[in-house]
Amino acid sequence: MTPSPSRLPFVDTHDTLVDASPAATWDALVVVVRASFDRPGSALIARLLGCEPARRSGQPLTTAGATLPGFQVAAAEPGRLLDLEGRHRFSRYRLVFVLDPVDDARCRLRAETWAAFPGPAGRAYRALVVGTHGHVLVVRLILALVCRRARVSA
């Protein structure tokens, strides 16, 4: 597990073995994350939730400080780590993707979630997002899409 620099509570981790090199997996991860969080309507939802940041910056996701609706790149190490952070009126959170090479042709991709849900509204939001397993479904879908895209491009 990657230690959370912001000391947020650990929520969960999911991982998958990717039949592609770390470089191909990284490229797929960047494309899938951008497509997942910068969809039509994402900025509107981010504004309604009071997300910081609420808009895309246009910078590549390989640049610390780049933003997508709801997320800012806290750290990016191509082929190894993509650390996204954000906050809104119900939560402060981090979504950290870690690539661990297995060999030249495969790697393990791990997604770790760290989050705080302060106050009664935060607890209700956690029940809605984490308690219903909606978060798990979204993270697993992102991992599956990265696997598929990385294999096709490898």
Q: In this predicted model, what pLDDT tens digit does every residue of 78-103 receive, in sequence order?
A: 999 999 999 999 999 999 999 999 99
Whole-Å CA distances, 120 to 89, 110, 125, 149: 12, 30, 9, 40
Whether residue 146 lies inside any domain: the answer is yes
Tell me if residue 2 falls in helix, strand or coil. Answer: coil
User: What integer pLDDT is reported at residue 4 of this predicted model?
Assistant: 47
pTM for this model (two decimals): 0.93
Nearest of 109, 154, 115 to residue 7 by alpha carbon: 115
For residue 70 the two structure tokens come to: 């709801």
Distance CA 101, CA 104 (A): 7
3-state secondary structure of 121: helix
* Spans in the chain with pLDDT lower than 70: 1-6, 154
Residue 138 lies in a domain: yes
4 within some domain: no
Containing structural domain, residue 137: 10-153
Residue 3 has a pLDDT of 46
Domain count of the chain?
1
Report d(CA 15, CA 62) in Å as an integer. 21
How many CA atoms does the CB half-sphere of 90 hold within 13 Å? 16
Q: Please report the pLDDT score of residue 143 as a whole number.
A: 98
The pLDDT of residue 6 is 62
Q: CATH number for the domain including 128?
A: 3.30.530.20
DSSP assignment of 138-149 = HHHHHHHHHHHH
Q: What pLDDT does residue 104 have?
A: 87
